[in-house]
Structure 1
Amino acid sequence: MYAGGFLGSGIALLALMYLMSGIRVTALAPGQGPGQIPGQVPSGGSGLAAEQRIQELGRQLAEAHAQQNQRLLAGSLVALAVMAGLSLLLGRLLAGRVLRPLRLITAATRRISAENLDQRLAVAGPVDEVKELADTVDGLLERLEASFVAQRRFVGNASHELRTPLATMRASLDVAVAKPGAAAQTVALADRLRTELDRVDHLLDGFLVLARAQHGAPADRTPVSLGGLVREALAARAADVAARALGVEDEVRADAWTAGSAALLSRMVENVVDNAILHNEEGGWIRIRTEETAARVRLVVETGGRVLDQERVDRLTRPFERLGADRTGPEGSSGLGLSIVAAIVTAHGGRLALLARPAGGLRVAVTLPSVAPPPAMPSSMAKHPVAMASAALSSAAGPEGRSR
C-alpha cells in the first residue's frame, strides 16, 4: 500500500511536470524579425533571408526542446522506477517498525493459556492505539483469571463440602441395617443406596483431582518412575483383568522417569489403565508399553474392540464425555477419567493423544518430559516389588491374560 501510494503520487507529479514543460511562454509573430517595428514591412531581399533564418532557428529550438522533454521524461521514468523499488523496501521497514508491537502482543497472547493466566503483556511506551490494545487484552486476561480461579475454587469447595452429608448418609444406613430385626427390604435398599453413594463419592473425588490438576503446575515435584506406576496399577487391578479374561502385553520399561506430583501422576496412570479395562470387550487384549528418549518419556496403552469415530474420540478429554451406551451403565465410569488425565498431563507440561485404531479400539499416548533417575534409586529396578506384582497379574489372568 505504501509503495502503491508512492507510485501513484510520483506518476501524478511526473505528468504535471511534463504538461507544464510543454507550455511556451513566448512566441514569434509571423513575418516579424528582430528590430522590426510592428506594422513595418522589411525592404529588400535581406529581410526575407532574415525571416527564413529566424524560422529555421525556431524549428531547431523546438526540436531541441522536444528532445529535452523526451530525455526529461525518460530520466523521470527511470527515477520513478528506482524510487518505486526503494519505496517497497522502505514501506516494508516502516510497516515492520509500526507492527512490531502488535507482533509482540500476538506472540505473548499465544503463550498465555488457562494454566498461566497470571501473565500480562505489560506493554510499555507512549499512550497510543497499540498501548490501549495491550491494556485491553491485559484487562481481559485479568477477568479470565478471576473467572477460572472462582470456578476451580467452587468445584473444590463444593466437592469437599458434599463429603460431609455423604458420610452422614452412609452412617445412617449402617445404623438402620444394624438394628435388630431389620427388614430384608431395608437391607436391600441400604445396599442399593451404598452403591449409589459410592458412585457419588467417586465422582466427587474426580472433581477434587480435576480441580487440583487444573490449578497449574504442581508444587510437590519429585522424580517419579512412570514404569513403576504402571506396574503398580496393573498389579492392583489383576482381579479385574482376570474377571474379564483380558490379555495383557506388558512392554513397560522400569527406567522411564519423569518429574511431577507422585499422587497426580499415579492417578493419571490408574485412570488410563482403568479406561483400558472397563471399556474393553470380554476376552479382549491390552497392550501397554513405555518409551524413553533423551527428553521425553511416553506411556502408550492400546486396546481392541469396535471401530470408533475419531471425532467423538477427540471429545473424550471433556468432562462427562462418553462413547455410546457402553459408557453409561452402572458399571461404567463417571466420564471424568480421561478429562482428569488430560488436566494432569497439561499440568506436567506433557501431551495427550487419543487415536481411534483403524482395526478397532483406542490408543492412548501420554508424553511427558523425562528426567534422570535419582542417585538413591538406580534406573535398573528389576527387583522392584511392582515387577513381582506384574508377574502375579499374569498368573492371575490365566492362559489368555498372561503377557505375550
Structure 2
Amino acid sequence: MRTPGVPRPAAPAAGPSERPWPRNAPPVGPRARREVDELLATAGPLLGVDGTISPLDLESTRALLERTWRDALAVLDAATPARRSRLIDVLGRCRELDRDLEHHLTDARAASLARVRAALELLSDAESLAQVLDRGPVAAARLGFDRSLLSAVERGCFVPRSCFMGEDRERAEHLVRVGRDEPRRLDGSLRETTLVRRREAIVVDDVQTDPLVHRRMAEVSEARSYAAAPVLLEGRVAGFLHADHHARRRAVSGLDRDALWMFADAYGRALERALQATRLRELERAVEGAHRETLAALRATGVEALGLGEVRTTRPLAPVAPLLPREEPAAPAALTRRELEVVRLLAAGETNAGIAARLVISAGTAKTHVKHILRKLGAANRAEAVSRFLQLERDAERRAAGGEPAARRALG
C-alpha cells in the first residue's frame, strides 16, 4: 500500500519550532478520518499501541494503515481464537479503507499530471540547448514547488548548475556557488547516489539532521524536505532536479516526487533533442567548411588551366530539419502543419514509433501521416519523400529571394 520512497511521518521534535511540517498531500475527509480513528481505536489494544491519533493527509494515513496491517499480520498466528477473529477484522478494514483512500488520490494525480504538462510548455519554444538548460529550474517550479535546483553529474560528482528560488536570487546563486565550490562524490555518502544507481526519484525528509545530504548546501538552503529525480541523457544519468515547498512550510509528498520524476524524464528528452539539433547544425557547418576548402584547393591546383573548364561543385547540403521549434521558411502548401512536423522528423531519421513519441500521437496516426506525405510528394519511399521535400524547401527559399518559382510549379 505504501508508495516506495515515501517516508513515514517523522516523530515530532522537542521544541515547537522543530515540529515536522505537514506533508503536501491531499487531506483526509471527515468521514474517512472517523473510520480510520475507529479502526485505530479497535486495533490499539490488540497491538499494544496508541490508536487514538491519525494523520491528516492521505499519504500519511495510508502509510499508517499499512503499518497497522503489517503489525496485525505479524501477531495473527500466535493469537488466541477470539483475538485472531478481531485481528482478521482489523486486517480486512485496513484493506477496505486503503482502497477508499486510493480512490481519493485519483483527482490529485490528474491535477499533478496537468501541472507537468503546463511546466513542459515552457520548454516547447526553446531553440537551443542553452535555453533548455536555463529554463529547467523555472519549469520544474511550475509543478507547484517553491524552489528547484538543476545539477549535473561531472566526473562522478554532484555539481549544481542553476537554481530557482523566486525573487530570492541572491540565495539561489549562493547555493549554486557553495555546491560548485564543494562538489561531493556520488560514492554512497549522499542520498543522490540512489538517483544514479536505481534511476528513480526519492523524497528526503529531516534534511538538516540527515548525514547523507550535502551539509553545506542544506545549511544555505535551510531545506527541511525535498524531492529529487534523475535526468537521463542518452541513456545515462547526466544530472538531477531537486525541488521543495520551503516557502509554504510543507514537506514533500509522494505525489510531488512522482510529478518531478515525470517532468525530469520529459526534460531529459528535451535536452536530447536540443543536443542532437546542435550536433546536426555543427556537422552541417563542418561539411560546408570542408566543401569550401576543397573548392579552394582544387582551384589552387590550376584545374581550369588543364582545360577541364570551370570547377563545378555539387549543390550545397540541404539544411538539416531542426528537432526544436524555430521560425521556418515558407513551406509547401500541399502539406498540413502536422505533416510538415512529420516529414522533418523523417529527415532526422525517426521511425514511425519515434515520430509518435515525439508528437504524442499513436503509431497508427504517424503511419497515416507518412502515407499522406508520400502521396502528396509523389514519392515511392520515405527517403525519396525527404529528398523531394528538402528540394521543395530550397526552391521556396530561392523564390523568396527572387529566384525562379520552381516550388510553385512542382506543387501545381
TM-score range relative to shorter protein: under 0.3
TM-score scaled by structure 2? 0.21
Structure with bigger RCO (C-alpha 8 Å, 6+ apart): 1
- Which has the greater radius of gyration? 1
